[in-house]
């Protein structure tokens, strides 16, 4: 009895979860928790440009193998096409519009955003169940920004860092299951101009012995074959190859530690490629992401073509660990035997940095409907972050020179339609708007009503414009963060001009 009691004290001192310690005390020996580990691998700014999704310009053997031994979702979409809003959603299993986290990089200033009751973060729910939680960049455990070297979080609301035990799962107690998030740069590896392209291509050359040839690039029809756009896309494809290699390294580590067979590995990106019509917008290029899951209990070689939302990873991960999915959570366990497929998924775009916008979308297997609540504004509103990219500069150059075709030129309109409707089967690039086509009037009405109901049922907080006080609070942090930094004076001036323009347009009701 004394020996068993000492065992309990030692296990607690080592950090073993209390529920595991109690079982060890009851059994008279340390107890190994056989619940599966859960690992999320989430790159930035990357669409489904992997071999298993049909990309043939580059090889991605590691993600492809993961898909072959698990389930691949072909129609997964984010609920927000920009980092912080997307991440605020999947870490809670809630629409960012419901929890008030729908404006990109909001709540950073004097005015804060609190999660509404009873919403809690997924890692906190794992901790409560006895799991060790970590979040890291890659290589895992490499020091990153933050008090404890945690990986990218970027949540828009106030949260406590203690929901993560550390930046690497190696700190767990013997036998303790872990929930680990691994954040990788993904598409951000290519940077914004030729300097970034050169760096990522050099990395590819060092790792693979070659780079993606320019003649392998096949651009979507809405982008011009400008040399800079082609070179950027080639560099992006090299970032895909490097990301795939990172996935291989994670899986190799799990195998070397002998935990691979009892670990669920989930691969998903935080939104689509950062390009003019991708990141920040609600077309498939911005919302469609890869989603691959493999591990115990998942049938190898499964392909799912029903539409799913990225927030669903919260529910399926909890369920896989035997943790009850809270009733308040909007995410669904899409791996459950009794799961009923969604008929539609929803996405929202609101303010991104200084640029105010308000767009909502419904996506089914066959159609995408988009509502522009600020139709008087251009698609390419001023945005210092995107306008500094060489690809946007190149497109504007060819626009000014009259070198764009009608499809590409349409993106430079000074206003937008209030509604957009696309047949995604016949028009996968979503360039032929059917909203004014009488033959699609019934579909338009059905999709419009779906969106209306969703906004009401989910308490879409975007229906009320962001207050000027909150906007000013966040913009002060944004501007102050650049003030005085070397080489940022021109960028800062552009942001301040854009802020003034946003306020003027709002005053004009535009």
Q: Would the pLDDT of 133 be above 90?
A: yes
Residue 487 confidence (pLDDT) = 83
Is residue 268 within 8 A of residue 67, CB to CB? The reply is: no
Mean pLDDT of 194-199: 98
- For the chain, state the CA radius of gyration: 23
pLDDT tens-digit readout, 17-38: 454 444 444 344 445 789 999 9
148 pLDDT tier (thresholds 50, 70, 90): low
What pLDDT does 142 receive?
52
Percentage of residues in the chain having pLDDT higher than 90: 89
In this predicted structure, which of 8-22, 93-107, 144-158, 261-275 has the lowest mean pLDDT?
A: 8-22
Mean pLDDT within 176-204: 97
Residue of 382, 477, 479, 365 whose CA lies nearest to 426:
365
Distance, in Å, from the CA atom of 416 to the CA atom of 246, rounded to the nearest integer, reads: 40
Instruction: Report whether pLDDT(247) > 50.
Output: yes
E-strand spans in 146-233?
A: 178-184
Which pLDDT score, from 0 to 100, does residue 208 have?
97
Question: Are the C-beta atoms of residues 224 and 404 closer than 8 Å to each other?
Answer: yes
Q: Which of 60-74, 144-158, 496-510 has the lowest mean pLDDT?
A: 144-158
d(CA 254, CA 39): 10
Helix (H) or strand (E) holding 197, with range, is helix 194-208
- Domain range list for the chain: 1-31, 34-466
Question: What is the mean predicted confidence (pLDDT) over 214-238?
Answer: 98
Helices (H), 151-193: none
Of residues 30, 408, 375, 36, the one with CA closest to residue 222: 408
Q: Is 2 helix (H, G, I), strand (E, B) or coil?
A: helix
Instruction: Encode 165-197: b = buried (16+ Cβ within 10 Å), e = exposed.
Output: bbbbbeebbeebbbbbbbbbbbbbbbbbbeebb
d(CA 266, CA 256): 18
Indicate the length of the chain as a whole number.
Answer: 510
Task: Tell me the β-bridge partners of 486.
Answer: none
Summarize pLDDT for 284-310 with one digit per residue, the tens.
Answer: 999 999 999 999 999 999 999 999 999
The yes-or-no verdict on residue 360 having pLDDT over 50 is yes
Residue pair 246/44 in contact (Cβ under 8 Å)? The answer is: no
pLDDT at 3: 39
Among the CATH numbers 3.40.720.10, 3.40.50.1970, 3.40.190.10, 2.40.70.10, which is that of 34-466? 3.40.720.10
Question: 262: pLDDT confidence band, cut at 50, 70 and 90?
Answer: very high
- Give φ, ψ of 397 to 5 degrees: -60, -45
- Identify each DSSP E strand in 219-283 by its residue range: 263-268
Q: What is the mean pLDDT of residues 372-381?
A: 97
Residue 407 and residue 404: Cα distance in Å, rounded? 8
Average pLDDT over residues 425-445: 98
Average of per-residue pLDDT values in the chain: 93
**pLDDT range class, residue 2, cuts 50, 70, 90:** very low
Could you report the per-residue pLDDT of 295-349, keeping only the tens digit for each?
999 999 999 999 999 999 999 999 999 999 999 999 999 999 999 999 999 999 9
Cα–Cα distance, 252 to 489 (Å, whole number): 45
Q: Do 133 and 323 meet the contact criterion of CB atoms below 8 Å apart?
A: no
């Amino acid at each position: 009895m004394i020996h068993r009691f000492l065992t309990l004290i030692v296990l607690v001192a080592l950090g073993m979860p209390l529920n595991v310690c109690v079982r060890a005390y009851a059994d008279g020996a340390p107890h190994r928790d056989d619940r599966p580990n859960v690992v999320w691998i989430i790159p930035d700014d990357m669409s489904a440009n992997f071999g298993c999704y049909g990309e043939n310009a580059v090889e991605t053997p590691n993600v492809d193998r993961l898909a072959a031994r698990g389930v691949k979702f072909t129609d997964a979409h984010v609920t927000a096409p920009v980092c912080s809003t997307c991440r605020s959603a999947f870490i809670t299993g809630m629409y960012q519009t419901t929890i008030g986290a729908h404006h990109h990089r909001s709540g950073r200033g004097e005015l804060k955003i609190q999660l509404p009751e009873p919403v809690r973060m997924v890692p906190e729910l794992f901790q409560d169940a006895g799991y060790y939680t970590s979040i890291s960049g890659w290589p895992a455990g490499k020091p990153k920004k933050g008090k404890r070297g945690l990986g990218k979080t970027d949540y828009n609301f106030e949260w406590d860092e203690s929901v993560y035990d550390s930046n690497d799962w190696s700190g767990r107690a013997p036998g303790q299951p872990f929930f680990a998030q691994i954040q990788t740069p993904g598409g951000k590896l290519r940077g914004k101009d030729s300097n970034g392209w050169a760096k990522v291509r050099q990395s590819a050359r060092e790792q693979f012995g070659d780079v993606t040839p320019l003649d392998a690039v096949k651009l979507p029809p809405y982008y011009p074959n400008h040399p800079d756009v082609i070179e950027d896309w080639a560099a992006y494809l090299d970032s895909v190859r490097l990301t795939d290699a990172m996935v291989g390294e994670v899986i190799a580590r799990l195998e070397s530690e002998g935990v691979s067979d009892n670990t669920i590995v989930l691969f998903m990106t935080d939104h689509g490629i950062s390009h003019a019509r991708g990141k920040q917008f609600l077309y498939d290029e911005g919302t469609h992401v890869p989603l691959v899951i493999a591990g115990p209990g998942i049938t190898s070689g499964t392909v799912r073509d029903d539409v799913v939302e990225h927030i669903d990873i919260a529910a399926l991960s909890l369920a896989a660990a035997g943790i009850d999915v809270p009733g308040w959570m909007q995410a669904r366990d899409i791996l459950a035997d009794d799961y009923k497929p969604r008929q539609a998924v929803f996405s929202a775009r609101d303010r991104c940095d200084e640029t105010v916008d308000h767009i909502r979308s419904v996506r089914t297997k066959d159609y995408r409907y988009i509502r522009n609540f600020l139709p008087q504004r251009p698609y390419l509103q001023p945005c210092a972050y995107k306008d500094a990219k060489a690809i946007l500069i190149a497109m504007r150059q060819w626009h000014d020179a009259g070198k764009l075709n009608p499809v590409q030129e349409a993106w430079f309109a000074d206003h937008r339609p209030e509604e957009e409707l696309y047949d995604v089967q016949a028009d996968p690039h979503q360039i032929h708007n059917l909203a004014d086509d009488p033959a699609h009037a019934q579909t338009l009405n059905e999709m419009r009503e779906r969106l209306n109901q969703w906004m009401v049922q989910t308490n879409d907080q975007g229906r009320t414009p962001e207050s000027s006080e909150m906007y000013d609070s966040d913009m002060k942090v944004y501007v102050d963060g650049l003030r005085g930094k070397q080489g940022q004076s021109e960028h800062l001036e552009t942001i301040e001009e854009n802020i003034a323009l946003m306020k003027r347009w709002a005053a004009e009701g535009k």
